[in-house]
Structure 1
Amino acid sequence: MDGTARAEAHCQPCGGPAPRRVRHGRPARPADRAPLKFDLDRAGHLHIIGSPRSGRSQTLRTLAAALGQAHGTDNVHMYGIDCGNGALHVLASLPHCGAVVDRNQTERLGRLLDRLGVELTLRQSILGTRGTADRAELRRSQPLHERLAHNVLLVDRFEVFEREFSSYDNGSYLERLLRLLRDGAGVGIHVVLAGDRVLASSRFSGTTEDKIVLRLNDRQDYSTVGIPSKSAPSDPAPGRGIRTQDLSETQVAVLGEDLSGTAQAEVLAALGRELTEREAAVPAARRPIALDVLPDRIAYTDALALHTPAGPMRPLVAVGGDTLTSLGPDLTGVPTFVVAGPPRTGRSTTLLTAAE
Structure 2
Amino acid sequence: MDARYDIVIVGAGMAGASLAAAIGTRARVLVIEGEDRPGYHTTGRSAAFWAESYGGPGVQPLTSASGPILRELGMLTTRTAVTLGRAGQESEIEAFAETYRAIGVEVELLDRAGMEARVPHLREGWTCAALEPSTCDIDVGSLHQYYLAQARKAGIELRCRSRLAEARREASGWTLKLADGQEVQAAILVNAAGAWADPVARIAGQRPIGITPYRRTVVQLAVIPEVPGDLPLVLDISGGFYFKPESGRLWLSPHDETPSRPCDAAPEEFDVALAIDRFEQVVDWPIQRLEHRWAGLRSFAPDRLPVYGFASEDPAYFWFAGQGGFGIQTAPAAAELGARLLMGESGGPVDPAPYAPARLG
Range of TM-score over shorter length: under 0.3
For normalisation by structure 2, the TM-score amounts to 0.22
Bigger helix fraction: 1
Larger radius of gyration: 1
Q: TM-score when scaled to structure 1?
A: 0.22
More strand by share: 2
